[in-house]
Structure 1
């Protein structure tokens, strides 16, 4: 009975006492603080002295950031599988993939019956559990066509709409002891979750044999079933005697054979004792992990993929999946995994990568990057996943997904200093900063991820008042191509700090940003929809009003072609970066007079409300062909050319974003983004069928442009680099590329070809 190579999971088994609910929650929080991995709770709904476990799990998930949560184990008889599937998926989505489903056939039948539950024989309970697992997985297969229909001996589902899909492949961990339940575990479960003290007959070795044989008969590998173990009778007293009684080093000696000889990879301790939890996490955990890693290195035990044969068959031949580092095996999503459909695409673009690695911290990023480099395939880095340019996914390569690295922290309120991880989305950032009276100028859409925007520019609703997002970055933590993790700021690796602000995607993977936020709470927001049939005249007047407006005013404009006999429409968005209603009224009213108004609304609102994240599913549902450019001013020639583009029928939308104001306050050479004279960004987008026509139109507009915003450009023509980085910025970037990424590892985000290093390139800190 071998070690199957699973990542170790250590955690707690907590009593959900209704008499001291704060203690139950506190023990879960302590579990996370002690660097353990799982907080689990008994589930006995018939016990009036206990809290409802699933309500408690939701509360605990909201109070923690990292640990997994699970019932240990769910009483199936009182939680019908159709409803349980929705509960489990909801918990997993809300916790961002941190829920696992401990599941049991239902103990204490008399107590269950007293609540109206069915009284089942042991044999019936096993059959019901098997049917329940099928129903659970069927509901979670949200992309399967048609409703779920199931007719079994114990459960009937006539026509249930599937979904929602969980955030990750929820593990179904079955608590089983008798042969029929053990056989079911081997055939259908993801994990076996017994309690050591109850493993009497058939005994541990015989139970494992039954599970393994059943797995093989079902076409599975024994390693597909994780082995977890509850330890209830435990004590760290040096004077105590017995199994799992004694000092931490004795625990390591006793747990190690369970891992290496019996294949257990998860241990959950009971006792509801804070000292036990702390010692288990802070002393036993590190020592046990080190001992297991040492033994695995000696024996060459590979990490195992807990995946069925049907999933393994979808692996790409170009990738060595067996060499995925053990620390990442629980954090990868492969083609065929249930979670794959939710991570393969961006919001805008479709993709079919061979592997998605969902990093949780900088160490994961380092390991993921090293593995990706060893495979010789295309590597994409994704933060929040919006991805208009399409470069944060790929076909057949590896995606390093940072979406789970999404914390937002105010680290110095007086200095307005905040730390944000790259996977956070800007709507969530705005919401997290609002209670502190702070905001950061970012994009216009709360679903956009921090990492891509904060390394490229950041042209949002507060731009004319506060500048670009990158103007407020004071430091970054970054993993560079050679695997080092660096803290970079104006005094440390200053040339790299210069490059990251505007061309960051070419120089590494940022794992955290530090920024100085602005003191802002409420803003005045207005939307005006107009008849823009006189497109050129309307554009000229809008542009002039924007340039003449006070800095508090930032305006976005979307031009939509005529549809079904209607006019060309213009949607003007105006944000006045203050709660001064009278000042806003004076500044915004002139915009009502530039074209016939079809609709209008204005309101005073907290800033975070206007960038609230919509929570869209990222499934490649947007327009895949866009071009981007910058205009010094909207001139008559530019306005006429744009009118012809909009009225051609070949373009689905054109959008304009105002710059100027504070954007122009930053010196041109202060960072890689060096566009400090232009007043407008312009984007044209269309469907793939019209892509070639868009190109023709854009070539007519190009001579009137001066620069480009990379994040909105889907062309990969190297000639466009000079649009994004006019000289001398491009020459400096090429020299720095030779220092920091000479092999071109980060080549997806408009690759900057390396040149010979220049004297100013700093590979070591200057302070």
Structure 2
């Protein structure tokens, strides 16, 4: 049998003993710590000596960050498939895409029947499993807005709402040995998960052949089915004592033909031995990966996922899909793929990219840039996809999605030094830093991605006390347009380090950022609901109170068009847990207008920006205008009142800056706006854009610059507002040096000044 080209996986099969539950969890944590990919547990609910598999999977997922988890395998007759579908999707969402579904048709029928399950014959079990897979896939398919229905012989679903959608395309791996089960695996499954010691009849080659034939009869490419293998009779020793009973290099020699000749691509060891697990991870896995990569390179074996003909038919002309490097192909998403609906849109904008690349490290980002540059189509980069500007998707182009680069690391607690990857959400950052008593100001919504905010400015709930997010960046890793991976800081490429802090999206793909966090645990938060009928008076009073407040206090104010008139929501955050001082700072705001509701509490900062992990489908207002104010003057407030009373504008938001933000000299970063005290945003629907522009033109004379992440227009004349001189000229010169072809041209494109560029 051929090598099917799948990425190699390595994992453990851990005994879920109820007599020593801590050992099972510890072995799973060790599996992650030594760098293995997957921890699995057998699923026998009728065995009182075992922990419940689903509970254990959930517990282990919560105790790990990178590790995939799966049953090996779940007993379907004890898990109704409609409920299982929702449970699986929920665990996948909670674990951020780390759940796989190992599933079996049933065994130990006396135990199943004793717990109230239905005894089935082998043939009935196969048919029931086929029906269950259809239910699982149907419930997960939230792109279909109709109720899911199935009139099956063993499982009937009269009509249920679909969802939730899993975070990633959950693999359904079937434990199969007999011919009908093997044929079913080829027809409907994503993987085959047997145990080597049970593969006596039919043998491995015959079993693979039956899977391939089942796939072809179902119109599938056999390469769509991953082949996994449990290994129990294994051990390490200095001398060979049999198959997988010897030194690590013997293991590599014996597993290599199982990949190249039999198509297995995942090996799971069933020994609860920490030493064996560690040796497997440190000596066998990397050596086997290297040997397989070498053989595949010489033989030209294609890698990456294999797509059905229906997906291939949706490929857009003009893009060379076959030229995609294997490392990127493994996680790429095309139109028609099951993951496509989850990755095509941003929070604000709907998009139809021809290809979504999901690199896992800086080297793969470099490959993605190199590939995209050769395609001659639009290129977008997305960290979290929440950006109000909506530039992190496109139509017909390549999208580099950084969601797999999502690690949060405390590098040095004494120095408060942290490292963030761009695909992490700021709510996740807050949660990871909270146990260390640290925080980082990061907008007002926990679902925002790190990359966009931390390279633009970063106006957050702690800004007046601690400044912008970029003011705490001490180093960054960036992949430039020519695919170089650079570390930039005060001593390495200092000019690019300057540009990254304020205009980073124009100079490359930032793959990691190092920042100095600050000591913040709890904060005092007040929420006010205010009648905004007299909008101008409300705004001027609020603005004056903010400027008079101590730096510990930052505030965001939003005015919404309501059916009976404008309503304002005011958030006040005091950066500290001194209740008396917080009360003194918050109290002056109770007379800014007629208070309709109020509450105040002391909460952990992480609770204030908890990540909701929303699914993005272009649900936001697509047209926004952005500007900065030194003060909320009576004239500016009157203009904003006219705007909000017109009915043409859906929301107006003002965020406080000033304080520590303005302590930084304007030339220190590419964000030069260091004298303003407020950032203003207005948004409306597509039908009111012309009216919004008229109102904004009236306000414009009172504005002093612009925060570009809140602006959906990219007119060249707006560049000067985003980057006042001499910042713009300096950026144009650097653009000519680092991105002369303007590859990164989606985020307020800065035209390169080629005449003054110096060769690098």
TM range (shorter): over 0.9
Q: 1:293: how far off?
A: 1.3
Cα offset, 1:296, TM superposition: 1.4
1:94 correspondence with 2:108: no
Q: Secondary structure at the match of 2:61?
A: helix
- How many angstroms apart in 1 are the aligned matches of 2:441 and 2:705? 21
Partner of 1:20: 20
More moved, 333-342 vs 176-185: 333-342
Tell me what 1:555 maps to: 555
Distance 1:124 1:441 in 2: 58
Query: How far does residue 396 in structure 1 lie from its aligned partner after superposition?
Result: 1.6
- TM value normalised by structure 1: 0.95
- The residue that corresponds to 2:744 in the other structure is 746
Query: Which has the larger displacement, 327-336 or 284-293?
Result: 327-336
1:569 is aligned, of 546, 567, 573, to: 567
**Deviation digits for residues 84-143 of structure 1, max 9, x if unmatched?**
212211121111111111111112222322222221111111111111111111111123
Query: What secondary structure does 1:10 align onto?
Result: strand
Pairwise CA distance, 1:729 = 0.6
Q: Is the 8 A contact 2:553 2:575 kept in 1?
A: yes
Question: Structure 1 CA distance, aligned partners of 2:304 and 2:654?
Answer: 51
Q: Residues 497-531 of structure 1, C-alpha deviation per residue, up to 9 Å, x if partnerless?
A: 11011001111212222111222222222222333
- Provide the secondary structure at the position in 2 that maps to 1:375: coil
Q: Secondary structure, in 3 states, of the residue corresponding to 2:236?
A: coil
Aligned counterparts of 2:528 and 2:80: Cα–Cα separation in 1: 50
Is contact 1:303-1:326 (8 Å) kept?
yes
Q: Does residue 438 in structure 1 map to residue 441 in structure 2?
A: no
In structure 2, what is the equivalent of residue 173 of structure 1? 173
The answer on whether the counterparts of 1:496 and 1:762 sit within 8 Å (CA) in structure 2 is no
Q: Deviations over 1:589-632 (max 9, x none)?
A: 33222322222222232222222223322111110000101112
Q: 1:35 Cα shift?
A: 2.2
* 3-state SS of 2:492 partner: coil
Match of 2:643 among 624, 632, 645: 645
Q: Say what the alpha-carbon RMSD is for the aligned residues.
A: 1.9
Bigger mean CA offset, 638-647 vs 469-478: 638-647
Q: Is the counterpart of residue 714 in structure 1 residue 712 in structure 2?
A: yes
SS in 1 for 2:235: coil
Which SS does the other structure have where 1:331 is aligned? coil
Number of the residue aligned with 1:353: 353
Structure 1 residue 625 corresponds to structure 2 residue 628: no
SS in 1 for 2:12: strand
**Equivalent residue number for residue 683 of structure 1:** 681
Contact 1:656–1:680 under 8 Å retained in 2: yes
Structure 2 residue 417 is matched with structure 1 residue 417:
yes
Shift of residue 63 of structure 1?
A: 2.0
Secondary structure of the equivalent of 2:201? Answer: coil
> Corresponding residue for 1:365?
365
- Maintained 8 Å contact 1:235/1:245: yes
Residues 670 and 723, structure 2, Cα contact 8 Å, conserved in 1: yes
Contact 2:445 2:611 in 1 (8 A): yes
2:671 counterpart residue number: 673
**Residue in 1 aligned with 2:124?**
124
Please name the residue that 1:377 is paired with: 377
C-alpha distance in 1, partners of 2:386/2:297?
40
Which deviations, in whole Å up to 9, do the C-alpha atoms of 1:145-173 show, x marking residues without a partner? 33222122222222222211111111111
- How much does 1:304 deviate? 4.4
Whole-angstrom CA distance in 1 between matches of 2:470 and 2:426: 14
Match of 1:86, SS state, is helix
Distance 1:596 1:483 in 2: 56
Structure-2 separation of matches of 1:338 and 1:259: 27
Q: 1:735: Cα distance to partner? A: 1.1
Moved more, 301-310 or 290-299: 301-310
Partner Cα distance (2:202, 2:316) in 1 = 41
Would you identify which runs of 4 or more consecutive aligned residues in structure 1 move more than 3 Å? 756-759
> What secondary structure does 2:330 align onto?
helix
Cα 1:552/1:18, change in 2 over 3 Å: same
Show CA shifts across 1:420-455 (max 9, x none).
221222222222222222221221122211111110
The aligned residue for residue 114 of structure 1 is 114
Q: C-alpha separation between the residues in 2 aligned to 1:118 and 1:665?
A: 72
Q: What secondary structure does 1:455 align onto? A: helix
Question: Secondary structure, in 3 states, of the residue corresponding to 1:638?
Answer: helix
Is contact 2:68–2:99 with CA below 8 Å preserved after alignment? yes
Q: Which moved more, 1:596-605 or 1:72-81?
A: 596-605
Tell me, what secondary structure is at the counterpart of 1:557?
Answer: strand
Alignment gaps of 5+ in structure 2: none
Q: Residue 736 in 1 paired to residue 731 in 2?
A: no
3-state SS of the aligned residue for 1:571? strand
Where does structure 1 lack aligned partners over 5 or more consecutive residues?
none
Q: For residues 65 and 588 of structure 2, what CA distance do their matches in structure 1 show? A: 48
User: Of 675, 700, 710, which aligns to 2:698?
Assistant: 700
Task: Name the residue aligned to 1:32.
Answer: 32
